[in-house]
Amino acid sequence: MLSPLNCRHLQIPNMQASPFQVIPKPIFPSPINIPPVHRRPPSQRALAITTSTANETHTPITMSTLEVVDASVADFWDYQFLFVSQRLETNEPVALQVVEGAVPTEFPSGTYYLAGPGIFRDDHGSTMHPLDGHGYLRAFTFDGVNGDKFSVKFMARYVNTEAKVEEHDPVTNTWRFRHRGLFSMLKRGEKVWNTKVMKNVANTSVLSWGGRLMCLWDGGEPYEIEPERLDTIGKVKLMDGWDSVVERRSDGGDVWDVAARLLKPILYGVFKMPVKRLLAHYKFDARRNRLILMSCNAEDIFLPRNNFTFYEFDSNFKVVGKKEFIIPDHLMIHDWAFTATSYILFANRVKLEFTGAMTSFCGITPTIAALSVNPSKETSPIYVLPRFPNEVNYNRDWRVPVEAPSQFWLLHVGNAYESLDENGNSEIQIQASVCSYEWFTLHKLLGYDWQSGKLDPSIMYLNGNKSKKMPHLVQVSINLDTGTDGICQRCDIEPLNQWIKSSDFPVINPAFSGSKNKYIYAAAFSGSRRALPNFPYDMVVKLNLSTKSVRTWSADSRRFIGEPTFIAKGSEEDEGYILVVEVYAVAVQRCYLVILDSKRIGAADTLVARLEVPKHLNFPLGFHGFWASNE
Ligand SMILES: [Fe+2]
């Protein structure tokens, strides 16, 4: 029989676990709430598991029923370890011990920042979806000033957002969640008519630009952080008109303008939403040395019309470009792309659920219940928006989207660039991670069950785990006829290098951002965890887009990784290092920072160094990171 008691070999990491322990207390952590383990009917027969990729097929592994059950239980509990709260913060930098390999003397000096949630359960019985968890900024500082010996120090601090001030008592270090966020529900008290849903927790990404460090979230202003001690300076108002609620249209507008005018006072006044939502994903245009940000309007969440504004900043944070686009569709955008002349939006389509909207308005369901994905189109609209209209010799109507021939949901963009083909047409290439609409379920993201407050990875998966439904890497190619009005001649989508294993977080050498790149890296899932069919990730994959080769580095057994980050070292595109955090190496109850030689991925000596985070400072899974070089 499948039971948590089958899993006594697992032990609790020392991460403020005591408030969260449940049965059996000496053995398991309770990161959110320990959910019941799914029971499967007993079987007497052995099960054969076969895994395959585009390039290789593994010998089937035969497992007894008991082994399968044990593996499933271990997988289930290992997943829980990704989201164990960490209440401790560092007051001083903590030196990390190198437990394998060595940090090379030529390693660049700088700091790797990693954003992500820190806490998932308060002291009053409420839990938070990982996407709603308060931002916990981690910093690994590499200091090579001592010449032959590298010092690597670690710090971690909560972003002191307005929400954290409301929900955390610094004297007693206790938490009481007072606002539910987009994906979560409060357990008791302040549940009904608690309408402040846009709880800015600054937990999604981190950015260093123009000498300023900021933590970003998809629903509001960034928070600026002091880069040495990680003290929170405060909210940053990067854009003009950020607080403006004045309706600028004078012609009355269409029906959606009227709806927006009616909705805005409710969103601002009742739901306490900011006028504009800055997205957490930003872009660097390496050739122009610019930072590009994008915002939406508050009402875009609920209306079939989106207001996108792109802002371009020079290295002094001066706005040097601003473009606004209104797209008549109901979209949910998390990441996007740019090229030398265009901004590119993949139309992840959603629709309003009336019942869900009413129940969420009353505080009975999470706000996300007001939306669902909208799979009504067989194709995927892609909007190619003019960044510099004067720099192209065609006058394309950007309101008409390019239609990709299949339906997919864009997760993250690795790179995009454009060039001219042999006919002089514009050829746009976008490398990204996508999944199917069936896989992407808004109210089940990361396996969080808002009704029980528990975390169960199995509820994420809809309709099986076929590779094309899972997150995977693709290249989208768009050919625009520059001889006419920029009409799309062709739009193809193909798996990158035929690599079909579940993958996300595509990254490149940032010096090639916006230009043609040869290499792309991503986090990928080996497929060896039976109860975790496509997430979390446990390997780094390197794709050579020129030779179509695939190279991988795998974490050890029962270790998960986050987003890889590329650090350039020399003049060649793949010359440098990959930094990646091993979160919850469950078998040894540790978090590690791993340095890989990006040129050597796939070889036996890929690993350069592994640095160990002190056990009492173990941290949960992070989202997006940033390497800030001292040079
Ligand atoms: Fe993201």
Residue 579: pLDDT over 60: yes
Give the annotated binding-site residues.
334, 412, 624
> How much is the pLDDT for 258?
73
Q: Distance from the CA of 218 to the center of ligand 1, in angstroms?
A: 9
Q: What does pLDDT average to over the chain?
A: 82
Q: Distance from the CA of 547 to the center of ligand 1, in angstroms?
A: 28
Q: Distance from the CA of 281 to the center of ligand 1, in angstroms?
A: 6
Residue 533: pLDDT over 80: no
Q: Distance from the CA of 201 to the center of ligand 1, in angstroms?
A: 15
Domains of the chain, residue spans: 1-95+501-625
Residue 198: pLDDT over 80: no
Residue 435: pLDDT over 50: yes
> How much is the pLDDT for 147?
57
Mean pLDDT of all residues in 418-427: 90
* Residue-wise burial string across 269-288, b where 16 or more C-beta atoms lie within 10 A, e elsewhere: eebebbbbbbbbbbbbbeee
387 pLDDT band (50/70/90 cuts)? very high
> How much is the pLDDT for 49?
32
Mean pLDDT of all residues in 242-270: 62
Q: Distance from the CA of 411 to the center of ligand 1, in angstroms?
A: 7
Compute the distance between CA of residue 327 and CA of residue 409 in angstroms, rounded to an integer. Answer: 18
By DSSP bridging, strand 319-327 and strand 306-313 are antiparallel
Mean pLDDT of all residues in 411-421: 95
pLDDT in tens, 45-84: 333 333 333 333 333 444 455 555 566 777 788 888 889 9
Q: Distance from the CA of 204 to the center of ligand 1, in angstroms?
A: 7
> How much is the pLDDT for 364?
81
Mean pLDDT of all residues in 91-110: 93
> How much is the pLDDT for 191?
57
Residue whose C-alpha is closest to residue 590's, from 613, 611, 564: 613
Asked whether 359 and 353 are in contact (CB, 8 A), the reply is no
Q: Distance from the CA of 413 to the center of ligand 1, in angstroms?
A: 9
> How much is the pLDDT for 586?
67
Q: Distance from the CA of 504 to the center of ligand 1, in angstroms?
A: 10
Cα 620 to Cα 107, 252, 436: the distances in Å are 26, 49, 27
Q: Give 223's contacts (C-beta < 8 A, 6+ positions apart).
A: 135, 159, 160, 161, 200, 202, 214, 215, 232, 233, 234, 235, 236
Residue whose C-alpha is closest to residue 125's, from 50, 213, 49, 185: 185
Q: Distance from the CA of 148 to the center of ligand 1, in angstroms?
A: 37
Residue 18: pLDDT over 50: no
Residue whose C-alpha is closest to residue 619's, from 75, 85, 93: 85
Q: Distance from the CA of 379 to the center of ligand 1, in angstroms?
A: 23
Mean pLDDT of all residues in 134-141: 98
Could you count the other beta carbons within 10 Å of the beta carbon of residue 498? 12
Peptide bond into 304 cis (omega under 30): no
Q: What is the DSSP letter of 220?
A: S
> How much is the pLDDT for 565?
98
Question: Model pTM?
Answer: 0.86
> E strands, 279-408, where?
283-285, 290-297, 306-313, 319-327, 337-338, 342-346, 350-352, 371-373, 380-386, 402-404
Mean pLDDT of all residues in 431-460: 84
> How much is the pLDDT for 148?
62
Give the annotated binding-site residues for Fe cation.
334, 412, 624
493 pLDDT band (50/70/90 cuts)? very high
Residue 610: pLDDT over 80: yes
Residue 527: pLDDT over 60: yes
Q: Distance from the CA of 187 to the center of ligand 1, in angstroms?
A: 28
Torsions phi, psi for 346 (to 5 deg): -90, 125
Residue 248: pLDDT over 80: no
Compute the distance between CA of residue 160 and CA of residue 182 in angstroms, rounded to an integer. Answer: 19
> How much is the pLDDT for 244?
45
Question: Between the ranges 28-37, 86-95, 230-239, 486-495, where is the mean pLDDT highest?
Answer: 86-95
Q: Distance from the CA of 210 to the center of ligand 1, in angstroms?
A: 22
More confident site: 40 or 198: 198
Q: Distance from the CA of 334 to the center of ligand 1, in angstroms?
A: 6
Q: Distance from the CA of 412 to the center of ligand 1, in angstroms?
A: 6
Tell me how far the alpha carbon of residue 42 is from its chain's centroid.
38
Residue 138: pLDDT over 80: yes
User: Of the ranges 89-93, 368-372, 551-555, which one carries the lowest mean pLDDT score?
Assistant: 368-372
> How much is the pLDDT for 273?
74
> How much is the pLDDT for 188?
66
Q: Distance from the CA of 335 to the center of ligand 1, in angstroms?
A: 7
pLDDT in tens, 119-134: 999 998 889 999 999 9
Asked whether 432 and 474 are in contact (CB, 8 A), the reply is yes
Residue identified by tokens 């019941």 is 36
Q: Distance from the CA of 34 to the center of ligand 1, in angstroms?
A: 26
pLDDT in tens, 321-373: 999 999 989 999 999 999 999 999 999 999 989 898 888 877 788 888 889 99
The Cβ-side half-sphere exposure at 439, using a 13 Å CA radius, reads 22
Asked whether 602 and 55 are in contact (CB, 8 A), the reply is no
Q: Distance from the CA of 569 to the center of ligand 1, in angstroms?
A: 26
Q: Distance from the CA of 282 to the center of ligand 1, in angstroms?
A: 10
Asked whether 491 and 405 are in contact (CB, 8 A), the reply is yes
Question: Between the ranges 11-20, 117-126, 273-282, where is the mean pLDDT highest?
Answer: 117-126
Q: Output the DSSP codes for 25-93.
A: TTT---SS--PPPPP-----S-EEE--B-SS-BPPPEEE-HHHHHHHHHHHHHHHHHTT-------SS-
User: What percent of the chain is predicted at pLDDT more than 90?
Assistant: 53
> How much is the pLDDT for 306?
87
User: Of the ranges 173-177, 454-458, 515-519, 529-533, which one carries the lowest mean pLDDT score?
Assistant: 529-533
> How much is the pLDDT for 447?
84
Q: Distance from the CA of 221 to the center of ligand 1, in angstroms?
A: 16
More confident site: 209 or 40: 209
* Vertex 328 angle, CA 322 and 329, to 5°: 110
> How much is the pLDDT for 585?
63
Mean pLDDT of all residues in 308-317: 94
> How much is the pLDDT for 466?
59
